[in-house]
Chain A
Amino acid sequence: MSNPDNKKDSSNLLNKEISDREREELKQAAEAVTQVTDDELALDDERRIKVLSPSALVFRRFIRNRLAIVGVVVLLFMFLFSFLGAELSPYGYQELFYTTEERLQDFGGIQKNEDLRFLVKENVDYSSGARAYMLKALGEGKNSYKYGDKVYDIEPLSDRVYLIHSASEVASIMQLGKKHMFVADEEVPAELEAAAMEAIDRGQSEIDVAGQIYTIESSGREHKIYSTLPIALASYNVVNFDNPESKNSFDFQFAIEQAVLAGAGEYMVEVEGKSYEVKVDEEGQAEIRLDNTLYATLSPHMVNALNQSLHLPIGFVAETLNAIENKSNSFTYTLNGEEREFVLEIRYERWVIREMSSVTVYNIRSAPSKEHWLGTDATGMDMFTRLMYGGRVSLLVGFVVVFIAMFIGVILGGLAGYFGGVVDMVIMRLVEIFFCIPTLPILIILGAIMDELKLGGSARLIYMMVVLGVLSWAGIARLVRGQILSLREQEFMVAAEATGLSVNRRIYRHLIPNVIPLLIVTATMSLGSTIITESTLSFLGLGVKYPTATWGNIINAVSTSYDMNNFPWLWMPAGFCIVITVLAFNFVGDGLRDAFDPRMKR
């Protein structure tokens, strides 16, 4: 209950205390005032006026100029941005950034096989010479040829598959009238003789005895009986196994080829005690299954991956062929447990399998993002960071050049103005000469020469600053001379001379301080124009070179109109940095001029 009351009481007390104190202070102040008035100040007493030093006056006038304050703030920001920001930036100005990009890449190829492939029976010798002769015979349209002491028969199973038989003489028959003599070179079935005679009578050249085919070659009365054995298979078809360990064999492929030859349909084929399920399609491709799993395919096509170590499972081949057959140009397949999409393309009459895959590339010309506030440039460097470092160089060039120009200009202008006469005459002619030397052309030639001499980045920078400085002192010298000439004639200088001040004192205490305001204004203004000159040179590619960043060469890096039009973030920020900085220098310079010389303000 009592708490709130207490509080009220205490706060009342506090208020009272405060107001008492205030009253007392007021009283004291009033007393102080009456004391002063008691002294009876004269009207022109200095104490009546709040005296400000000239520089304080200038300062007050300056801060009243809103544009000038904006300029100062912008300049402060630019300096922080360039010198501090560059330190704080997590990136380096020459740091390259990478990104992954989805890109169609060649995965493998598929091609109709154009080479005959030979499959030789086990333990049979069918040399490469024999193979070459076979191809030759095939080209000449013969169906039997001789190689070495052996005769081979070519039996075309289709226009893509050939069976090669090796023939060896097993027996001969001599006909002598109605009798004949049968001579067997080796063991032959007993029925052969009778069957052969019968065939000779009928004019047959092939007989089948106990599952073995014999050919009879007759010359007059002599008949030779050859036994022919299929020893090899020459086929344009390719067998791809699901398991890379599986080995092709003559018997296996022969069996499959036969199934294929039988036309589209499903067959059961038995080879070496295993029964395979063969599914043949219209194109003459076969899918071979063992125990209901895909075992191999036979097709006129060869499929392989670019990556040699990658084995393409049969399903992939089948899927590819399927896609080609369906005239679809893409298909999906689960390879090594992940579903991947493949694209088919015809290139130089062969099918190329391509796949979207991610590639690491330079992150070039990327749009502004969270990582790169102003995107990246054409080589993959962070634009924002480069702007900061570029600002360093641009501002540095500005200051150094203006310093050099000021240094020469003030000394020569001061000499000319103070001494006059011959000195003035000589220096002014020099000023006019330098005034007439065309700066930009000279700098462009200098740039071209430095290109030719392949000068490095910092050397170029130094040369450029010196030349710019040396070529731009003339205006300042003229200004200083004019100022000193007019100051020299003023009463205070006459007074200084009359009081017998030394020359040094007259120059340094009385003349120079009066020139300084003008110098500050001129320097500020020429900082802006120097930055423009530097950036123009860099833009033309004749100033500071890539990869050193300056605001000018950041824009120069985007020299093609394609880049200009499509990637405005590559050049606009640097350009606006230049404009804003120069504008700020001009605002400050203008504000300073007004502050130093209030005459212009009515």
Chain B
Amino acid sequence: MRKYIVKRLLISVFILICVTLIIYILMRNLPTSYVSSIARQRAATDKTKSYQVWLDELEEIYHMKDGYIEGYVNWAGEAVRGNFGESWHFKRPVTTVFKEKIWYSVILNIIQFVLHIAIAIPLGIKAAVKQYSRTDYMITFLSMITISFPTFFLAEILKYVFSTKLGWFPLYGMISRNHEFYSAFGKTLDVGYHYVLPVVVLVFLSIGGLVRYTRTNMLEVLSSDYIRTARAKGVAENKVINYHAFRNTLIPVVTILGGSLPSLFSGAMITETLFQIEGIGYTSYQCMTQGDVPFTMFYLAFMSVLTLVGLLIQDILYAVVDPRVRIS
């Protein structure tokens, strides 16, 4: 087991190096006109640094004078120590901005994560237990719909219906005008109130996949021999479903969910942007569209780390939960 984990870890580190190298090379190969025009814009809006200073700074962070590999090694050395340079957009170190923004995303994603599990797993199991019933068709149909909605369209519709027409929820933003006057509890409620629509969007879009996954796995479990045995020996149907089948269904589901844990930190770019939640997603979207190279580099590297960690957790969990994998 330990050997397996070590092997996976080593592979992950190798892949991380490859991915960041690719990203680094991509960044180095940005069209010069793009970089220089961004630097020129920056120099025009921020008089404290001249055009050349911006370019020099960029060159310094990314060791552009060195060759690709050497430059990458130098950059990665700094990056590992947490030095990603200064964000062009925020004019503060990238990691400071990151620490400031990440928690808004994490809170949003945790709420979404908990809710989507609480909704999707029961639905998936119900659909599988009552396969080909009307309930099953309804649940399948609904989960299909949820995976067919583009995020932005769902967000716009919810905003149109609940903010504009009904006026129940704010259109966007994270705090209301009087936020400063509320008590600590009131402030939390206020932010929570602003989080309602984004959470609904995220949960709606994510339950479909999990419902289908749960249903498929539950069906597989229900058609297995040990369930037939359990039924044959006269175990109550309730117990068969809740005890025998459910527990076994959880194996793959927990694996998948464990794998998606790191993505709690990745932010929800489109949703955050549309609702102007100041999380990591919205921040990085702003930085990306405005040509903030240091922050973008950081975000790309961060995202790859998250994906890798997710894969790693998934693989290890799979091995931990299912002894068959360990043996082979």
Contact = CB atoms under 8 A, between A and B. Distances in A.
A384 to B, nearest CB: 19
Interface in A171-210: none
A346 interface: no
A220 B276 CA distance: 97
Given A435-B311, A536-B270, A441 B284 contact: yes
A437 B144 contact: no
A575 B153 contact: yes
Given A575-B157, A586-B147, A600 B289 contact: no
Identify whether the interface residues of A are mostly helix, strand, loop, or mixed.
Answer: helix
A505 B273 CA distance: 53
Contacts, number: 126
B285 A583 contact: no
Given A67-B141, A452-B33, A561-B171, A441 B303 contact: yes
Given A435-B307, A438-B300, A575 B160 contact: no
B219 interface: yes
A575 B15 contact: no
B308 A453 contact: no
A590 interface: yes
Residue from B144, B150, B164, B289 whose CB has the most chain A CB atoms within 10 Å: B150
B74 interface: no
A600 B222 CA distance: 11
Contacts of A67: 137, 140-141, 144
Contacts of B308: 436
Given A575-B150, A579-B148, A583-B145, A437 B160 contact: no
B185 interface: no
Given A67-B141, A438-B307, A587-B144, A453 B33 contact: yes
Interface in B106-163: 131, 137, 140-141, 144-145, 147-153, 156-157, 159-160
Interface stretch (A243-251, A267-275, A334-342, A442-450): A442-450
Contact of B160 (A552, A568, A579): A568
B300 A583 contact: no
A437 B34 CA distance: 22
B156 A602 contact: no
Interface in B289-306: 289-291, 296, 299-300, 303-304
A565 B288 contact: no
Interface in B224-241: none
Interface string A563-578: 0110010011001001
Contact of B296 (A441, A542, A568): A441
A590 B144 contact: yes
Nearest to B222: A602
B73 interface: no
Given A453-B31, A555-B156, A586-B144, A539 B18 contact: no
A602 B157 contact: no
Given A437-B22, A575-B150, A452 B34 contact: yes
Contacts of B152: 535-536, 539-540, 555
Interface string A6-20: 000000000000000
B151 to A, nearest CB: 7
Contacts of A440: 269
Interface in B28-75: 30-31, 33-34, 37-38
B181 interface: no
Interface in A151-184: none
A429 B11 contact: yes
Nearest to B143: A586
Given A441-B296, A448-B288, A448-B291, A579 B37 contact: no
Interface residues of B, number: 54
B223 interface: yes
Contact of A441 (B34, B159, B288): B288
Contacts of B14: 429
A599 to B, nearest CB: 8
Chain A's interface size range is: 35 or more
Contact of A528 (B33, B148, B156, B288): B148
Nearest to A580: B148
A436 B19 contact: yes
Contacts of A438: 300, 303-304, 307
B97 to A, nearest CB: 16
B173 to A, nearest CB: 12
A600 B288 contact: no
B216 interface: yes
Given A432-B311, A440-B269, A582 B288 contact: no
Residue from B34, B147, B149, B153 whose CB has the most chain A CB atoms within 10 Å: B153
B226 to A, nearest CB: 16
B144 A432 contact: no
B23 interface: yes
A291 to B, nearest CB: 67
A475 to B, nearest CB: 13
A539 B150 contact: yes
Interface in A371-417: none
A433 interface: yes
A435 B19 CA distance: 9
B131 A602 contact: yes
A532 interface: yes
Contacts of B137: 67
A540 B103 CA distance: 25
Contacts of A542: 289
Contacts of B157: 572, 575
A416 to B, nearest CB: 15
B153 A579 contact: yes
Contacts of B18: 429, 433
Nearest to B12: A432
A438 B273 CA distance: 17
Nearest to B18: A433
Nearest to B38: A452
Contact of A432 (B15, B149, B153, B303): B15
Interface of A: 67, 429, 432-433, 435-438, 440-442, 444-445, 447-449, 452-453, 528, 532, 535-536, 539-540, 542, 552, 555, 561, 564-565, 568, 571-572, 575, 578-579, 582-583, 586-587, 590, 600, 602
Given A436-B19, A444-B289, A528-B148, 5 more contacts: A448-B290, A536-B151, A572-B157, A582-B150, A583-B148
12 contacts: A67-B140, A436-B307, A438-B307, A441-B300, A444-B289, A532-B148, A535-B152, A536-B150, A540-B270, A575-B153, A579-B148, A590-B140
Q: State the 10 A-B residue pairs at the shortest beta-carbon distance, nearest first.
A: A438-B303, A575-B153, A583-B148, A582-B148, A565-B164, A452-B34, A436-B304, A436-B307, A436-B19, A444-B288
